[in-house]
Structure 1
Amino acid sequence: MDQIINYVDWEHLYKHSIKNSNWNELFDIQNFKFTFGVTPFSQFQIIPVVVAFYLFTIFSIKGLMKNREAFSLKWVTALHNAILCLWSLLMCVGVVYEVLKRVTTDGGLFTICEVAPGFNQGPAYYWSYIFYISKFYELFDTVIIVLKKKDLIFLHVYHHCIVVWLCWYLLYTGWSLQLWVVFLNTFVHIFMYYFYLNSALGRQVWWKKYITQIQILQFCCLGVIGVLHFICLHLFSCVTDYSAYISAYSINFSFLFLFTRFYNRSYTPSSKPGTKGSPNISTRTTSPKSKKLD
């Protein structure tokens, strides 16, 4: 941690990442524009600092908790998940509302093929920005997990680290398909965080198993949308950022692979006698009940 503190020029970070930010943009939906260095949290140096601090924090807590009793954190967990459930609902409704407004004037094709630049400004992309901000708060997911001494799997940590950067990069490059990412992910998160809210309160939700299936479906949908976008690039005068396109779909397919593997390991019946119908995890501490994915 000392190396991280000494390496970062905190005075420069404060002056150019916090002090000079236009904080009014957090609440200005109609006039929103993601401006590098001006919009709060638009500065790139924030990403590696936050990710490094996140990794240091969770693994430090994990080490400190090794010989300690797990915290219950029932109400903290419930409140955290309630906030993210409602926040996801707000973002999902917000982006759908703004997109439908544009559909009435520009037609539905713009959702796959934008013909003019400006994919980082306006009401619809304001919700993409709020979605990016939410990824910082979601890091608290992992803090709760390690304090409760639940299993911390690679997929969870990888997802949280990479998504913060990806959401920033989509806004920075102004990649038009980010609205699909926001809609699909927030839609899934409404149900996911509702499940974790109920789980924290000790309630059973019968459709728990299907959350991972919906998550996998969202990655498949994004893949289909990406193919349609690629086709439109050759049929119409669409604008895109190829670096964002490659980055987004490389990460999307990595998620598809990892979530599918997680689902198969968690819910595929074991071939061992006497364990039919149970998750194939009897010899590992990776019970679906103790995992939290996004």
Structure 2
Amino acid sequence: MTEAGLIYSALASLLRTLWPGNQKSFDYLFTWDPPHSPLSTFPSIFLVLASYLSIVLGLRAAINKGAVQPPHPNSRHLKTIFVIHNVALSVSSGLLLAAIMEEVVPILRRGGFFPAICAVSSYTPRLRAMYLINYYMKFWELLDTVFLVVKRKPLGFLHPYHHTATAFLCFTQLHGHTSAQWFVICLNLAVHTAMYGYYALMSLKIPCPWKRLVTTAQIVQFILDIGLIYFATYNYFVSTYAPSLPHVGTCAGEESAAVFGCIIIASYLYLFVDFYQRTYSKKTPAKIQRAAIIAAEKTYRTDGLATPTDQEAVYNDLDQKKAAAASKR
């Protein structure tokens, strides 16, 4: 194995310096060794994600009933925490992206694209360690939903589904040892670097014309993901079960991980395209579109936390009102 790159070495050194425990606990946390590693078993991740959904939905219900009084949405302390959260996620995503690319680029140069996404040797120990960090970050990102609820923002289907499914997707790919996952992770980290930076800037009331671009980037990300994942999955299944059919070669990874990845990424593409069409399509009735955009813009101006799911909830409410009005005619 080649020597670690400068960025990887610096990040590893920084994590060890900041880690409050001893070396044994550090190795335990940052080494993927199921079932001993944290969140490396199905019961453990199921418990965490089920608790996340229960807490979020329960907190929202309690706030709506007046049983819990959260801070004011424009509270300075809440806004400060929110800005720190987004800046930290943006910077962390950018650094992890740079570290992964530092490891992947030499692999691409040595063997080309297909071996980089399909060869067993492309699933290196250093990449696995960074995949694990990316996996842990998905649980950090669950706080996005808590902010939405505390700020009394609408909570649609897409937001909790996307966060829950993404955490489980990372879990399946770590278990499945899929060599192609660096491609999907890098695209996701690139989008998150821009997206969380956008949220932070909007919270600080700094003008930023990235709103439509962020959604477009997410859709392009999923299109590229699907192209690569389906290509790799096709090559695996054909080389394994129908080698007489045209294919480039086989791909490393477990079948269940490949199938789950195909399904989840396809669902993301459908949901985000649906959101985009409902937000920007000219076919949307002008009055409904204008009301939804005004509501979404108001959310952006307030705290910068408007995501596809915020506007999705706005549209759902408007669609229901439109249907009710039509039924009375």
Do the two structures share a fold, i.e. TM-score over 0.5?
yes
TM-score by length of 1: 0.80
Question: Residue 292 of structure 2 aligns to a residue in which SS?
Answer: coil
1:86 matched to 2:91? The reply is yes
Correspondence for 1:208 among 182, 207, 211:
211
1:242 matched to 2:255? The reply is yes
Correspondence for 2:264 among 245, 251, 270:
251
Aligned to 2:117: 112
Aligned to 1:51: 49
Return the alpha-carbon distance in structure 2 between the equivalents of residues 267 and 288 of structure 1.
17
Return the alpha-carbon distance in structure 2 between the equivalents of residues 279 and 261 of structure 1.
17
State how many pairs are aligned. Answer: 266
Structure number with the higher helix fraction is 2
Return the alpha-carbon distance in structure 2 between the equivalents of residues 286 and 152 of structure 1.
16
Q: Deviations over 1:131-183 (max 9, x none)?
A: 10000100000001100011111000101111111101100111122111210
Return the alpha-carbon distance in structure 1 between the equivalents of residues 277 and 118 of structure 2.
35
Question: Residue 281 of structure 1 aligns to a residue in which SS?
Answer: helix
Q: Deviations over 1:34-79 (max 9, x none)?
A: 2211233223222111111111111122122224574332111101
- Cα contact 2:229–2:261 (8 A) shared by 1: no
Aligned to 1:261: 274
Aligned to 1:229: 232
TM-score by length of 2: 0.72
- Cα contact 1:198–1:205 (8 A) shared by 2: yes
Question: Residue 112 of structure 1 aligns to a residue in which SS?
Answer: helix
Aligned to 1:281: 292
Aligned to 1:7: none
- Cα contact 1:267–1:280 (8 A) shared by 2: no
Q: Which is further off, 180-189 or 37-46?
A: 37-46
- Cα contact 2:278–2:284 (8 A) shared by 1: no
Output aligned runs, 1:10-49, within 5 Å.
Answer: 23-25=25-27, 34-49=32-47
C-alpha change, 1:270 and 1:104, in structure 2 (3 Å) is: closer
Return the alpha-carbon distance in structure 2 between the equivalents of residues 56 and 271 of structure 1.
34
Q: Which runs of 5+ in 2 are unaligned?
A: 1-23, 237-246, 310-329
The residue type equivalent to 2:26 in the other structure is N
| RMSD between superposed Cα atoms in Å | 2.8
The residue type equivalent to 1:182 in the other structure is I
The residue type equivalent to 1:215 in the other structure is Q
1:103 matched to 2:70? The reply is no
- Cα contact 1:185–1:218 (8 A) shared by 2: yes
C-alpha change, 1:59 and 1:230, in structure 2 (3 Å) is: closer
The residue type equivalent to 2:45 in the other structure is I
The residue type equivalent to 1:242 in the other structure is E
C-alpha change, 1:101 and 1:219, in structure 2 (3 Å) is: same
Return the alpha-carbon distance in structure 2 between the equivalents of residues 103 and 40 of structure 1.
31
Tell me which structure has the larger Cα radius of gyration.
2
